[in-house]
């Protein structure tokens, strides 16, 4: 028997917003099923925070509508929406104990003392802080305070939890730990999380789906693997991960021609026409630096370069080579090279990649001009 899709927790329809005559969001539409962890990513000024504030009711759209759990809440103020927000600043009440902070929301809703303390205790157990309920916030580490803020936001069982760069103030190790904790909590509760971040690695590690923003709209929405492996355009490909780039031209026979030699790609943008400039993109983990003695004339996607850099990244090695024409390539491989040959800066190598790993897009400017509001 086919399962019905989950109901929609959040829907945006044609959202537009301007500040001081500057258009920040334009025609923004999105549906988030109940129980999904969605990450909205994009550079500064792309509109992420403005979109979140409109969902939360902190800003009103100029056009379009916002729906929460099937209800049109476009004109409903923030305090009456079934939404809570966790910010980068923990915003805990310093004069209250941890358990009092977590119980604050139910208290404001008139929940009895025993019931709200029971709920707060359950949430502190969920975030693994059941032993610090009687402490004050200033007696906790940054990571512990962030977990208290999360528990407090969940206390009223909101239909949607918005998280705006909540881990930005934490050091790298603690941030990685909190990423795992957030994902665990969201999964255990089956809650709907909308996570705002500029950190693609963070988003890829936690989210069920990503919504990539640019110029106040969504460039692509999909699961992390699809967005990384099959980005819709060059801008998205370069934003969501590092990539080697080769400028080329689409020939009359559909072949890609570059100054380095012939190229082959598994995907060629259907908008490209004969004679158009193209940008061929290959991920570093799909790029190999072969010994210079390898046969350079055996096919496309193989050209000479010289190794200039080798950096150990834990179990991996990041290699960088440059062609005679000054085009740089990166390769990421295991520390123990698969061919058993040690590569040293100055060595001649042959850059190589499979056609299946290459994608050709329209060659267009990919810079994202900053806007005064995000």
Inside any domain, residue 237: no
Average pLDDT of 215-224? Answer: 95
In a shared domain, residues 194 and 252: no
Instruction: Count CB atoms within 10 A of the CB of residue 274.
Output: 10
Q: Identify the band that residue 342 occupies on the pLDDT scale cut at 50, 70 and 90.
A: low
- % of the chain exceeding 90 in pLDDT: 53
Inside any domain, residue 351: yes
Please give the residue that has the higher pLDDT: either 367 or 348.
348
Inside any domain, residue 235: no
In a shared domain, residues 223 and 323: no
Closest CA to 352 of 260, 279, 269: 260
In a shared domain, residues 298 and 223: no
In this structure, the strands spanning 244-250 and 261-263 are unpaired
- % of the chain exceeding 70 in pLDDT: 93
Please report the pLDDT score of residue 4 as a whole number: 76
In a shared domain, residues 166 and 254: no
Residue 367 has pLDDT above 80, yes or no: no
Structural domain total, the chain: 2
Please report the pLDDT score of residue 105 as a whole number: 87
In a shared domain, residues 112 and 206: yes
In a shared domain, residues 133 and 250: no
The secondary structure of 62-125 as a DSSP string is SEEEEEETTEE-TTS-GGGSSEEEEESS----TTS-HHHHHHHHHHHTT--HHHHHHHHHHHHH
Please report the pLDDT score of residue 227 as a whole number: 95
Inside any domain, residue 187: yes
Please report the pLDDT score of residue 171 as a whole number: 76
With residue 257 as reference, give the H or E element that holds it.
Answer: strand 256-258
CATH number at residue 261: 2.40.50.100
Residue 53 has pLDDT above 60, yes or no: yes
Average pLDDT of 20-46? Answer: 94
CATH number at residue 45: 3.40.50.300
Please give the residue that has the higher pLDDT: either 342 or 109.
109
Final residue of a domain: which of 203, 229, 255? 229
DSSP state of 139: G
Domain that holds residue 169: 8-229
Inside any domain, residue 373: no
Encoding tokens for residue 293? 């003695």
In a shared domain, residues 64 and 181: yes
In a shared domain, residues 222 and 264: no
């Amino acid at each position: 028997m086919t399962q019905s899709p989950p109901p929609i927790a959040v829907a945006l329809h044609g959202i537009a917003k301007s500040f001081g005559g500057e258009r920040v969001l334009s025609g923004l539409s999105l549906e988030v099923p109940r129980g999904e962890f969605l990450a909205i990513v994009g550079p500064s000024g792309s509109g992420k925070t403005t979109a979140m504030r409109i969902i939360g009711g902190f800003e009103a759209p100029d056009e379009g509508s916002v729906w929460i759990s099937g209800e049109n809440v476009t004109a409903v103020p923030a305090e009456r929406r079934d939404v809570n927000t966790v910010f980068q600043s923990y915003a805990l009440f310093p004069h209250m104990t941890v358990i009092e902070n977590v119980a604050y929301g139910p208290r404001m809703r008139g929940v009895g003392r025993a019931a709200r303390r029971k709920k707060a205790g359950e949430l502190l157990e969920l975030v693994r802080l059941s032993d610090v309920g009687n402490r004050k916030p200033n007696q906790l580490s940054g990571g512990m305070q962030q977990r208290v803020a999360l528990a407090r936001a969940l206390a009223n069982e909101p239909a949607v939890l918005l998280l705006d760069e909540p881990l930005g103030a934490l050091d790298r190790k603690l941030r990685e730990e909190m990423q795992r904790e957030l994902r665990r909590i969201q999964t255990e509760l089956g809650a709907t999380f909308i996570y705002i971040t500029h950190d693609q690695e963070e988003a890829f590690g936690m989210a069920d789906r990503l919504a990539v923003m640019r110029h106040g709209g969504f460039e692509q929405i999909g699961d992390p693997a699809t967005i990384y492996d099959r980005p819709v355009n060059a801008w998205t490909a370069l934003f969501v991960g590092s990539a080697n780039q080769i400028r080329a031209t689409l020939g009359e026979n559909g072949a890609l021609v570059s100054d380095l030699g012939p190229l082959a790609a598994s995907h060629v943008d259907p908008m490209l026409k004969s004679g158009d400039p193209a940008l061929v993109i290959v991920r570093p983990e799909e790029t190999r630096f072969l010994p210079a003695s390898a046969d350079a004339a055996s096919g496309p996607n193989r050209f000479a370069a010289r190794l200039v850099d080798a950096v150990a990244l834990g179990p991996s090695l990041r290699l960088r080579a440059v062609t005679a024409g000054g085009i740089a390539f990166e390769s990421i491989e295991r520390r123990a090279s698969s061919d058993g040959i040690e590569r040293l800066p100055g060595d001649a190598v042959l850059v190589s990649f499979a056609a299946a790993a290459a994608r050709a897009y329209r060659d267009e400017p990919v810079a994202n001009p900053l806007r005064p509001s995000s």
